[in-house]
Amino acid sequence: MGHVVTTIDFDDPLQELKAEEPEEAHEELKLGTPEFAARCRKLGHRSLGYRFLKRFFDVVFSLCVVVVGLIPSLFLSIAIVIDTKGSPIYSQVRVGKWGEPFRIYKFRTMVADSDNVEKYFTPEQLEVWKRERKVDNDPRITRLGCVLRATSIDETVQFLNVLLGQMSVVGPRPITEEELYSHFTEAERAILLSVCPGITGAWQSGPRNEATFESKERQRIELGYVRNRGLAEDMRCILGTFGVMFGRRRSGR
């Protein structure tokens, strides 16, 4: 089974990942097929010890968050309903590990009709939204939503996704199928989806405003995490997230 032979810049983890791919990775495979899942499993291989410790941490930490946050979450849900119309919990389908779709949950931070982007965005904002799926000063965000996003409290519901095995505490940010096909090559998609998406990760804990899909920096960071992931890298992402949450680093959504 041959491998692609190429000149590699090992300072660029994305190039290293591509060079490690088998030749048959160039065959087009669809999400959700056994063949695509098999490719993801091969690319995402890690030691049993790391996988056990990562899952153990995911379950224990998530249980603690869910138990401690249960009562505050009830009051927060009431506050969201008072602040604006609609359900306090927002859900959306994202692409998970091995290409399997799953429904992600968050506390709602936007107006109830936030999917009607043409209603709220200027033409310039709409162009940015089509590329990045986020804009600065998003007019759809509610007053309470601004606070929830600044503190990342809106994402605490995702610990339920972690307990279900659909996500991890640390991993690439979960994205939609549209984003996946718009910004990642077929080879990169298999690499990205070889691991569980995370509540936080290398991109979330880093310079998110500067690292965009358009600049290709976000892809480099996310794929670089997959290549370099380990206990030390996961801890670095977690500590970086606390830095973002407490204002030591400016971040975007």
For 178, 188, 202, 207, 221, the CA distances from 133, given in Å and listed in that order, are 10, 19, 18, 16, 17
Look at residue 166 and tell me if it is in a domain. Answer: yes
What does the pLDDT average to over 146-168?
94
Instruction: Kindly report the pTM of this predicted structure.
Output: 0.82
Residue 105, both tokens? 């949950």
Look at residue 25 and tell me if it is in a domain. Answer: yes
Range from 17-21, 88-92, 183-187 carrying the lowest mean pLDDT: 17-21
Whole-number pLDDT of residue 139: 94
Look at residue 1 and tell me if it is in a domain. Answer: no
Place 24 in a pLDDT band, splitting at 50, 70 and 90: very low
Look at residue 4 and tell me if it is in a domain. Answer: no
Look at residue 236 and tell me if it is in a domain. Answer: yes
- pLDDT (tens digit, 9 = 90+) per residue, 166-204? 999 999 999 999 999 999 999 999 999 999 999 999 998
Of the chain, the percentage scoring pLDDT greater than 70 comes to 86
Q: What is residue 198's three-state secondary structure?
A: strand
Look at residue 2 and tell me if it is in a domain. Answer: no
With CA atoms as reference, report the closest residue to 1 among 33, 29, 23, 34. Answer: 23
Look at residue 127 and tell me if it is in a domain. Answer: yes
Helices (H), 84-216: 117-120, 123-132, 143-151, 159-163, 177-183, 186-192
| Number of structural domains found in the chain | 1
Domain that holds residue 169: 13-245
Look at residue 3 and tell me if it is in a domain. Answer: no
Q: What is the CB-side half-sphere exposure of residue 239 using CA atoms within 13 A?
A: 6
